[in-house]
Structure 1
Amino acid sequence: MIRFENISKQNSHRILFFEASASLNRGEKVGLVGPNGAGKTTLFRMITGEEAPDEGQVAIEKQVSIGYFNQDVGEMSGRSAVAEVMDGAGPVSVVAAELAELEVAMCDPDRAGDMEAIIARYGEVQARFEELGGYELEGRAREVLAGLSFSQEMMDMDVGALSGGWKMRVALGRILLMRPDAMLLDEPSNHLDLESLIWLEEFLKEYEGALLMTSHDREFLNRIVTKIVEIDGGSLTSYSGDYAFYERQRALNEKQQQAQFERQQAMLAKELKFIERFKARASHATQVQSRVKKLDKIERFEPPKRRQTVSFDFPPAPRSGDDVVVMKNVHKGYGSRTIYQGLDFMIRRKERWCVMGVNGAGKSTLLKLVAGSTEPDEGTVAVGGSVRMGYFSQHAMELLDGDSTVFESLEGSFPQAGQGSLRSLAGCFGFSGDDVEKKCRVLSGGEKARLVMATMLFNPPNFLVLDEPTNHLDLDTKEMLISALAAYEGTMLFVSHDRRFLATLSNRVLELTPEGIHQYGGGYTEYVARTGQEAPGLHK
């Protein structure tokens, strides 16, 4: 359906692809993986024709419709969310637009002389609209938006009034409603809450076209894809299986390649030793020449290319008191909307609470109350003795000084720390070499999140309050963070839509629902087993 045939592509001085080949076949669901900057987005852009390979070709079967979702949604305003989604539905949206124009024309007294022709054309267009399933289109568009957590009120709002994250969902909804032959999704799981993520998962499982997507959510990839295409060192390598299979297979391949390389190195060393020892002896001249020729012809094995993986070890945090947070009879509302009414909640030392609830249930509000960045309308929030809190929120990323470099930002936070330890900290969070000299204003969302996280964790708090800490993190950084937090000995309260993060790190669940607030002993995995649902907004 779509084939990359010996493509080469250079981006300024960087070689992204060199004589690389891969294919996307009908009905395949493929995960595209590779380190940041490897060329994943460039590959998408070559399929859509926005970029061309320097050499080789991208061959696409005729008449194949392609839908492409990326993070750059552009300007949207002047139409409702539902109209914007319907506009992406392919041929039927063109017919719908003409139908709307003809309806206006039929009501225009200045066009009374053309009425017969207008009515005749209206009949033709209406028949075509019906044939394309146009009358079900609005219902389907609303269904998709509901799956992406839009309320009916938001569906009919001007899309220009929505935040960037919700506009992303509208752009994603356009592609999903279109149901093209091939769908290209670049990070569709960003900006989605857990309910939307699970709905999208089911939608994509049932989608019959070809799918090529990137995602930083390994659970999401594992449940959808049946093939992985990896970009690494200019090559495209295909693995038949999900992301977990790819990880195992890649590790096995690396092990085999390392063993092969070591065996050959040992053999070469032995041969060179023989040549060196006997090269001056006439009696061994023939043997020496024979071995020199043999070595010249041998194809040398390369050692496996090691991906840079970093780990972060928490310095031990001071011990807090046993009662970390006590909330009593807390009331909180915004305007006429009540969020909490008489909430009693306690966090004890070493508990790791994950907070679950649909959009608007009050998850971030709870974290803000605990962190002291908002006050209750009534009741008390008491933080216990010797508690040193670290609070990560999306807002913290906006507070970075744009004129400071990454290193200056760390140095400003920790003036007593040595350069070596700060560079080591920066490296753990993905800022190696010249990256520490980047100005904060040019950092991507993921880089800002990593910098805020590094600043928070260097002088470790004994109580972490984390609001969607993995939102902008790539797979490798996310794994590093999960491993580090798994070894962390303090107390945690967090909100996340990443199921691996939830399952690995929680040992308590606080569920916020319209019917009330429920507390569960045991972590997210036990919560799923007990309730039969992966998120509060889903009922099986």
Structure 2
Amino acid sequence: MIRIENISKSASHRILFIEASAALNRGEKVGLVGPNGAGKTTLFRMITGQEQPDEGQVAADKHVSIGYFNQDVGEMAGRSAVAEAMEGAGPVSAVATELRELEARMVDPDQLDQMDEIIERYGEVQARYEELDGYSLEGRAREVLAGLSFSQDMMDGDVGKLSGGWKMRVALARILLMRPDVMLLDEPSNHLDIESLIWLETFLKTYDGALLMTSHDREFMNRIVNKIIEIDAGSLTSYTGDYGFYEQQRAQNEKQQQAQFERQQAMLAKEIKFIERFKARASHASQVQSRVKKLEKIDRVEPPKRRQTVAFDFQAPPRSGEDVVSLKQVHKAYGQRTIYEGLDFMIRRKERWCIMGVNGAGKSTLLKLIAGTAKPDVGSVNVGASVKLGYFAQHSMDLLDGDATILQWLEQRFPKAGQAPLRALSGCFGFSGDDVEKKCRVLSGGEKARLVMAAMLFDPPNFLVLDEPTNHLDLDTKEMLIKALGEYEGTMLFVSHDRHFLAALSNRVLELTPEGIHQYGGGYVEYVERTGAEAPGLMKA
């Protein structure tokens, strides 16, 4: 359906693709992977015709419809989330808008003298709306939005009043409702809670078109894709299988190529040694010439292209007391809405609690109460002896000095550290080379989050409180963080929608539900086994 044929493409003096080829075939569900800046979004834009390759071509079969979701959702205001989602379905959305305008005019007393004309036009528009299956479309739009965790009030309210993350969901709903022949999804798992993620997985599994997507959520990708296309050093390489298979196959290919390279280097060294030894002897002239010609004709094996991955090693945090935090009879409400009523909760040293709950259950509120940025209405929150608390929240990046560069800001935080370890730290979190000279004010939201996380972990507290720490991290950085936190010797309390992160790092689960608060010994994996559900908002098996 989509053919990428020998494309080359440069951007800002960087070569993204060199004679690269790949294909997206009918029914395939493909994960597009590669390091940040490799050209994933550029490839999407070339498929949609928003950009052109410098050489080669990107071609689609005739009459193939393409739906493209990206992080730039544009302006949304002045209509409901349902109407905005239906906009992606084509002409029916314009008919729906006129239908609503006519309905408003029919109840407007100032337009009584035009009522016959309004009613006649309403009949015509309503017939056209039925012809286009409009009533069914609205039902499907509401179903998709509900799957993405919208309440009925949010569906019918002004989309312009929603946060950026919820607007992203509306833009995603628009593409899902369209059900094109080819769906291009650039990071659809961003800004979604676990319930929405699992609903989207089910939707995409049953979608019968071709899918090409990027995602920083390996579990999400593993459950959907049956093929991986990797962008690496300007080339496109296809692997049949999910992301886990791709990782194994890539590692195996690298190992085999390294072995071939080493064997050839040993053979070349042996031949060169013979030539050097006997090149001055007339008796061996023919043998020397023969070996020289042999070397000239040999196809050289290249060593495998290895991605630069930097490991991050924690300094050992100071030891805390055994009782890290104690909450007793905590009540917390916002206006008429009660979040906690008589909450008792204890965290002990080396426990790693993940908090599970649907949107609005009080996950972030609990973190704020423990971090001290919110106070209980009633009850007490006591932090134990020798506890050094580090709190990562989504608003943490507002504390950055916009006029300072990344390196300068880190030097302000750690004046005795020296540049070398701070540059190494920056590299671990995706700021390599000249990136450390960027001003903090020009950083994206994701870059700011990574910088704040890096600073917090450089001088580690013995109690980490983390609110969605993996948002904005690419797969490699996320793996580095999971590995580092796996070796961390302190206590953790965190909220995350990344199931790989939850499974790898938790050893306790606090579940917040309308029926009550439940504590589970064992981590997220054991929680899923015991409850039969991957999240509290899903039906138990």
Q: How many residues align?
A: 536
Q: Is the 8 A contact 1:8 1:16 kept in 2?
A: yes
Kindly report which structure 2 residues correspond to 1:111-150, keeping only aligned pairs within 5 A, or say none. 123=124, 129-150=129-150
Deviation at residue 254 of structure 1 after TM alignment: 0.4
Q: Over the residues paired in the alignment, what is the CA RMSD in angstroms?
A: 1.9
Deviation at residue 351 of structure 1 after TM alignment: 0.6
Gaps of 5+ in 1: none
Q: Do structure 1's residue 349 and structure 2's residue 344 form an aligned pair?
A: no
Aligned to 1:511: 511
Tell me the percent identity.
Answer: 81
Aligned to 2:241: 241
Deviation at residue 428 of structure 1 after TM alignment: 2.2
In terms of mean alpha carbon deviation, does 487-496 or 84-93 score higher? 84-93
Deviation at residue 505 of structure 1 after TM alignment: 0.6
Deviation at residue 420 of structure 1 after TM alignment: 2.0
In terms of mean alpha carbon deviation, does 6-15 or 461-470 score higher? 6-15
Partner Cα separation in structure 2 for residue 167 and residue 318 of structure 1: 43
SS in structure 2 at match of 1:324:
strand
Aligned to 1:491: 491
Residues 292 and 381 of structure 1, relative CA distance in 2, 3 Å threshold: same
Deviation at residue 476 of structure 1 after TM alignment: 0.4
Instruction: Give the TM-score normalised by structure 2.
Output: 0.96
Aligned to 1:93: 93
Q: Is the 8 A contact 2:3 2:24 kept in 1?
A: yes
Deviation at residue 105 of structure 1 after TM alignment: 9.6
Give the residue type in structure 1 aligned to 2:407: F
In terms of mean alpha carbon deviation, does 259-268 or 277-286 score higher? 277-286
C-alpha offsets along residues 486-532 of structure 1, whole Å, 9 cap, x if unaligned? Answer: 11111110000000110111111000011111111111001000000
Aligned to 1:51: 51
In terms of mean alpha carbon deviation, does 83-92 or 212-221 score higher? 83-92
Q: Is the 8 A contact 1:446 1:474 kept in 2?
A: no
Partner Cα separation in structure 1 for residue 158 and residue 95 of structure 2: 22
C-alpha offsets along residues 8-55 of structure 1, whole Å, 9 cap, x if unaligned? Answer: 111121110111110111111000000000000000000111000111
Give the residue type in structure 2 aligned to 1:205: K
Aligned to 2:173: 173
Partner Cα separation in structure 1 for residue 32 and residue 345 of structure 2: 43
Partner Cα separation in structure 2 for residue 68 and residue 462 of structure 1: 44
Q: Is the 8 A contact 2:321 2:387 kept in 1?
A: yes
SS in structure 1 at match of 2:436:
helix
Residues 338 and 104 of structure 1, relative CA distance in 2, 3 Å threshold: closer
Partner Cα separation in structure 1 for residue 493 and residue 301 of structure 2: 49
Kindly report which structure 2 residues correspond to 1:22-421, keeping only aligned pairs within 5 A, or say none. 22-97=22-97, 123=124, 129-421=129-421
Runs of 4+ in 1 over 3 A off after TM superposition: 94-116, 125-132
Q: Is the 8 A contact 1:48 1:66 kept in 2?
A: yes
Q: Is the 8 A contact 2:83 2:93 kept in 1?
A: no
Partner Cα separation in structure 2 for residue 372 and residue 511 of structure 1: 21
Residues 345 and 298 of structure 1, relative CA distance in 2, 3 Å threshold: same
Give the residue type in structure 1 aligned to 2:162: L
Aligned to 1:529: 529
Residues 531 and 272 of structure 1, relative CA distance in 2, 3 Å threshold: same
Q: Is the 8 A contact 1:425 1:454 kept in 2?
A: yes
Partner Cα separation in structure 1 for residue 95 and residue 433 of structure 2: 55
Deviation at residue 424 of structure 1 after TM alignment: 2.1
Q: Is the 8 A contact 2:102 2:118 kept in 1?
A: no
In terms of mean alpha carbon deviation, does 372-381 or 88-97 score higher? 88-97
SS in structure 1 at match of 2:375:
coil
Residues 332 and 97 of structure 1, relative CA distance in 2, 3 Å threshold: closer
Gaps of 5+ in 2: none
Q: Is the 8 A contact 2:367 2:465 kept in 1?
A: yes
Partner Cα separation in structure 2 for residue 204 and residue 499 of structure 1: 18
SS in structure 1 at match of 2:149:
coil
Residues 319 and 85 of structure 1, relative CA distance in 2, 3 Å threshold: same
Deviation at residue 129 of structure 1 after TM alignment: 3.8
